[in-house]
């Protein structure tokens, strides 16, 4: 299994370099993550147990600058083009239930959903889940949307993605469950997430 993400932080401020460097300065403590950075994004490879806390820390740290900040993340697991990597070994990826109906997938994800301590960062987010490589991918997506609607964040339908509003810690816990809880545990799954804080814009569509 190969698990990881490419992520980028976009602080909408003249001092964006300082906001980014400050947000990522403590990433070394996540000793199970391998990192590689270029001018477009940072690659993190490793288990979800460290991936999600590390991303939450970067996003909340950048948001505490007070600037309008966006974090873009592309998560991937099981890509057939990537080698197995022992660094990605995880206990979080649940086995596919014997009776993997949409209702059972939704219920199991809700039971696993963490109720973390609030971060205090009001977060707007949109996510898309892409279960690749066959099977009825829309059934997994609809099961996931049912999970989102019953979860700890507010959910709004959009074209091509689903909008989540809530505390950054809840949003990240919901994204984690979306990533691990739907589509086959051995399948190729991609999830994209855009998280935003401190936007001066109104939330409603125009």
Task: Name 79's Cβ contacts closer than 8 Å, sequence gap at least 6.
Answer: 2, 188
**Of the residues 132, 146, 155, 185, which one makes contact with a copy of itself according to CB under 8 A:** 132
Footprint (CB under 8 A) of a copy of itself, residues 35-64 = 36-41, 43, 45
Q: Which lies closer to a copy of itself via its Cβ, residue 16 or residue 100?
A: 16
Q: Are residues 14 and 53 in contact, defined by beta-carbon separation less than 8 angstroms? A: no
Binding mask 164-193 for a copy of itself (x = CB under 8 A): ------------------------x-x-x-
Within 10 angstroms of residue 98's Cβ, the number of other Cβ atoms is 6
Cβ burial, residue 165 (10 Å; 0-12/13-18/19+): middle
d(CA 131, CA 189): 5
The length of the chain in residues reads 206
Verify binding: residue 99, a copy of itself, rule CB under 8 A: no
- The reply on whether position 160 binds a copy of itself by CB under 8 A is yes
Asked whether position 117 contacts a copy of itself by CB under 8 A, the answer is no
Give the CA distances from residue 156 to residues 57, 117, 121, 153, 205, in Å, rounded to whole numbers and listed in that order. Answer: 25, 24, 19, 10, 11
Within residues 76-95, the interface with a copy of itself by CB under 8 A covers: 76, 79-82
Structure tokens at 81: 């083009």
Which among 6-14, 102-110, 146-154, 173-181 is the span making contact with a copy of itself, rule CB under 8 A?
6-14
Binding part of the chain for a copy of itself, among 4-12, 91-99, 113-121, 177-185 by CB under 8 A, reads 4-12
Pick from 18, 66, 135, 186: which binds a copy of itself (CB under 8 A)? Answer: 135
Residue 77, burial from CB neighbour count under 10 angstroms (0-12, 13-18, 19+): buried
Residues in the site for a copy of itself, rule: CB under 8 A?
4-6, 8, 10-14, 16-17, 36-41, 43, 45, 68, 70, 72, 74, 76, 79-82, 124-126, 128, 130-135, 137-138, 141, 158-161, 163, 188, 190, 192, 194, 196, 199-206
């Amino acid at each position: 299994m190969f698990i990881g993400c490419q992520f980028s932080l976009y602080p909408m401020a003249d001092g964006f370099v300082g906001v980014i460097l400050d947000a990522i300065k403590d990433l070394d403590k996540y000793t199970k993550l391998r990192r590689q950075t270029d001018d477009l994004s940072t690659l993190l490879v490793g288990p979800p147990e460290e991936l999600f806390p590390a991303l939450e820390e970067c996003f909340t740290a950048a948001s505490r600058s007070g600037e309008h900040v966006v974090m873009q993340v592309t998560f991937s697991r099981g890509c057939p083009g990537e080698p197995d990597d022992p660094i990605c070994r995880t206990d979080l990826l649940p086995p596919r239930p014997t009776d993997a109906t949409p209702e059972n997938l939704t219920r199991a994800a809700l039971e696993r959903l963490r109720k973390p301590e609030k971060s205090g960062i009001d977060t707007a987010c949109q996510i898309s889940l892409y279960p690749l490589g066959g099977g009825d991918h829309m059934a997994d997506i609809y099961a996931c949307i049912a999970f989102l609607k019953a979860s700890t964040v507010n959910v709004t339908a959009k074209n091509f993605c689903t909008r989540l509003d809530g505390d950054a810690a809840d949003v990240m816990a919901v994204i984690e469950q979306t990533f691990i809880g739907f589509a086959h545990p051995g399948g190729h799954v991609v999830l994209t997430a855009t998280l935003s804080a401190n936007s001066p814009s109104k939330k409603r569509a125009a």
